[in-house]
Structure 1
Amino acid sequence: MGETTQAQHDLARRFAALHHGARPLLLPNAWDAGSAAIFAALGYPAIATTSGGVAWSLGHADGEVLALAELLAAVRRMVRVVNVPVTVDFEAGFGATPQQVGESVRALLDTGAVGLNLEDGVEHAWLRPVGDAAARIAAARAAAASAGVDVFINARVDNWIVGRMDAAALFEEAVQRARAYIDAGADGIYPIALSDPELIERFCRAVPAPINVGARAGSSSLEALKQLGVARVSTATRLAMVAYSAARETAQALRATGEFAGLDASFGYDALQRLFPKH
């Protein structure tokens, strides 16, 4: 295992503080070093990864298919090209047991990352027992403590993806899960797929930690989410999907017409070259 550095400690503290600013922390989700460099150059104060985008860029489906070693290599490249905090969508923790999750988190911290998401859903199909999910968060926290990095653990609550209960019971269980995860060492809570403004506000009031919501076309504005109590907003797979969609549509038009006008890029070769070191 590598040694953590003062720079990583400083990035971790900076990242945690961003969850308590005057505005919600807006995170673009990168899928490779190029996208991370672009987002950092635009002035975003931190970068998140997208499990789906990273998996697709490496030739895998999303959903706990990507090998840990491949993810770590991708994260290491992102960290190398940016000077802002990087937080990683760590899916279910890359381990069958809490101990294995802790070992995987320790390996993740060796990349220079300072935050991670851990989800309590399994293959987008069912929820882990809350005790098991909490134990995995506790193991991640212990691993971070042993590494000397105050990593920001964002615990994902998957009730709105895979919950099999009526709306009232779903909400109450999500709150109970969130509180259990905070007790286990989580710093923030991500109720993924929760989009109803009234429920977001209720959830923010019920859970004593920074709340992360996902953004999509049609979502409430950043200012509106701030008024609801949201501390963090991420784009998940959507920027990757926008990029892949643009490439697909351009290639489709090229093949259909034989015309090359669509190959004109507003962000060209020289601009991209300036984002990266030449060594």
Structure 2
Amino acid sequence: MHAYIFPGQGAQFSGMGLDLYENAPLAQELFERANDILGFHITDIMFEGAAEDLKQTKVTQPAIFLHSVILAKTLGDTFKPDMVAGHSLGEFSALVAAGALNFEDGLKLVSQRAKAMQKACELQPSTMAAVLGLDDDVVEKICAMTEGIVVAANYNCPGQLVISGEVDAVNRACESLKAEGARRALVLPVGGAFHSPMMEPAREELAAAIENTRFSKPNCPIYQNVTASAVTDENEIKANLISQLTAPVRWTQSVQQMITDGATHFTEVGPGKVLQGLVKKIHREAETTSAQYNVNA
């Protein structure tokens, strides 16, 4: 069975999507439509902007979404997923690719999500840190014992977990994790504490937008971050999307469940190859590839 997976924040690079724009007429049309929907030329920042410009959450999230979704749409008849999943922001790309959301609504939601997260980040200093070389339960236990808000946020692959919360609490947890034997506990250059209780103001703001958006039954199951299980019910999809901002990304568990349910081949749709690397660390025998656009789309 063939799974298609969609990356999240961090996969961006200057020049992303330019080859698509120049070589696939459908892609050019969709990028121009995106500029109109967003009210600014995001293509200028994607194709020619500096890395610093692309790092702003309000730009990064729609940029990665557009690259992934437009690439999926240029695959034409070859895009026949048995299942889909996306890492954090990538879940929105997966939902549009699987027909649960239309292009315009998906882009509007991603833009609103990015702005809401940016606002939440500015309310209180917060951060994230990558922890390597410890079992998940050890990291969870140390977070629970640490004073202040710090939680497990991204279960990326065995031995690689990202924690998230208040700056001081994350720093304290990193010291404890190193003492416990972590190979690395490194604060990340991110704007705030994504997938933690610190995102509650953004969750409330996004909830209203999601509730007012029309969702359809997807063409195949989507393995959502919050549950790490196959979902096809529109109301369940919406509820999980709302919960996602303050809940952890269970990527390890999602990939494991997809494999249990029959996935043998994973195609990453979007910039970079981060998810392929994580899939290989979760299940070495899995086949992984990058999606290639179709110029005739």
Scaled by the length of structure 1, the TM-score of the pair is: 0.29
Scaled by the length of structure 2, the TM-score of the pair is: 0.28
> Relative contact order (C-alpha < 8 Å, sep 6+): which is higher?
2
